[in-house]
Amino acid sequence: MFLRKWAIPLLIVLLLASCSGKTHDRSREKHTITIAGSTSVMPFTEKLAEHFMVDHKNFVIDVQGGGSTAGIQATINNTVDIGMSSRELKENEKMLNTITICHDGIVVIVHPDNPIGMLNLAQIRQIFSGQITNWRDLGWINRKIDAVSREEGSGTRSAFEDLIMKGKEIDDGTMVQDSNGSVKEVVATDPYAIGYVSMGLVDKKVRPVSIDNVSPSIRTIKSGRYKIVRPFLYVTNGELDNKAKQFVDYVLSKEGQNILRNEGLVGFYD
């Protein structure tokens, strides 16, 4: 009888206690770094954070998505410590401090069963602008091309538009997914799909397409032959504070860059 009467208030107290951990934090001296922005950069920052926190147990690194633009905005508004961006800053964002952590290629991908592994820039442009609509026109079977793009506002999409579309508009009929991961999923499951993702995401589930006879890889990016490349940036409002600096130093260190290279990104060391 006693328990029944007090069960609910007890539950409430427990619940609120679990949510007031902020006071706990102060007593245990945890350093919290909040990082938000590009969903392209996010998985890699997560990985770096995981490794970093192994040796720095008093750090809590909170990584969120939201997109390059949102991350930059959040940095300008000081709601996060570090913003992630997969595109260059615009004029009205240039007051932020930028740190290039690595470079990333944008890779056009198709389904592993798709025999077409080579396209030239013009063809890719025509596919995504809706001028070429059937795989038959490229030498494969008679089947409509299922083109997948990212949504407006995505850093990856604007990089794709700048480096490949070069002014030609992406057709209204292309499918849209709101993250690189989901674009990859669509291409991995639909044999007639074609899309573009960050190079770091390419794995056995999809087939990368060589552009103008250059296949995308860390090597070809470093040598300059594969030109569809964009920088991954960390942006901060003013100078980094000490704790954020520790993390960024780690990211730029040999160990951090190694992790990025293993993920398929182009770091600063070889």
Partner 1 sequence: MASMTDRTMLKERFVKWVLITFALSSLLFLFLIFVFILAEGLPLFLKVGLKKIIFGFKWAPTKGYFGIFPMIVSSFLVTFGALVIGAPLGLSCAIYLSEYSGKKTKMFLKPALELLAGIPSVVYGFLGVIYIVPLVRNYLGGSGFSLISTSLILGVMILPTIISISFDAITTVPKTYREASAAMGATKWQTIYKVILPSAKSGILASFILGMGRAIGETMAVIMIAGNALKIPTSILDPLRTLTGNIALELAYATGDHRLGLFSTGIVLMVIIMALNYLANFGIKRKPAK
Partner 2 sequence: MRVNPRIINQAVRVGLSAQALFTVSILVVIVAIICVKGFPYIDFAFIFSFPEDMGRHGGIFPSIVGTIQLALLSILLATPLGVGTAIFLTEYTRESAFTKLIRFGVESLAGIPSILYGLFGFIFFVIKLKMGWSLLAGVLTLTIMILPTIIRTSEEAIRAVPRQLRIVSYSLSASKWETIKKVVLPAAMPGILTGIMLSIGRAVGETAAVIFTMGSSLRLPLSLMDSGRTMAVHFYILAREGISMEKAYGTALVLVLSILLINVVAYYLMNKAIARYS
Residue 212 has phi, psi (to 5 degrees) of 55, 45
- For partner 1, what does the binding mask look like between residues 60 and 99, x meaning CB under 8 A? -----xxxxxx--x--------------------------
Q: Should residue 208 be labelled a site residue for partner 2 when binding is judged by CB under 8 A?
A: no
Q: Which does 11 bind (CB under 5 to 8 A by kind): partner 1, partner 2, none?
A: partner 2
Rounded Cα distance, 227 and 34, in Å: 32
**Helix 42-55 vs helix 242-252: angle between axes, to the nearest 10 degrees?**
110
Beta bridge partners of 148: 175
Q: Which of 86, 154, 179, 220 binds partner 2 (CB under 8 A)?
A: 179
Enumerate the β-bridge partners of residue 76. Answer: none
The token pair that represents 269 in the structure block: 């060391």
Give the 3-state secondary structure of 229-265.
EEEEEEEECCCCCHHHHHHHHHHHCHHHHHHHHHCCC
- Return the bridge partners of 171, or none: none
Residue from the set 75, 174, 220, 236 that interacts with partner 1 by CB under 8 A: 174
Partner interacting with residue 47 (select from partner 1, partner 2, none; CB below 5-8 Å by kind)? partner 2
Q: Is residue 190 close enough to count as binding partner 2 by CB under 8 A?
A: no
Does the protein bind partner 1 through residue 151 (CB under 8 A)? yes
Residue pair 138/225 in contact (Cβ under 8 Å)? The answer is no
Which residues lie below 8 Å from residue 174, measured CB to CB, with a gap of 6+?
128, 130, 147, 148, 149
Query: What, of partner 1, partner 2, none, does residue 20 touch, CB below 5 to 8 Å by kind?
Result: partner 2
Q: In terms of residues, how long is the chain? A: 270
Q: Does 185 participate in binding partner 2 (rule CB under 8 A)?
A: yes
Does 116 help bind partner 1 (rule: CB under 8 A)? no
Choose the one of partner 2, partner 1, none that binds residue 22, judging by a C-beta under 5 to 8 angstroms depending on kind.
partner 2
Q: How far is the CB of 259 from partner 2 (least distance, A)?
A: 12
129: partner contacted, choices partner 2, partner 1, none (Cβ within 5-8 A by kind): none
The contact set with partner 1 (CB under 8 A) reads 65-70, 73, 144, 146, 151-154, 169, 172-178, 186, 189-190, 192-193
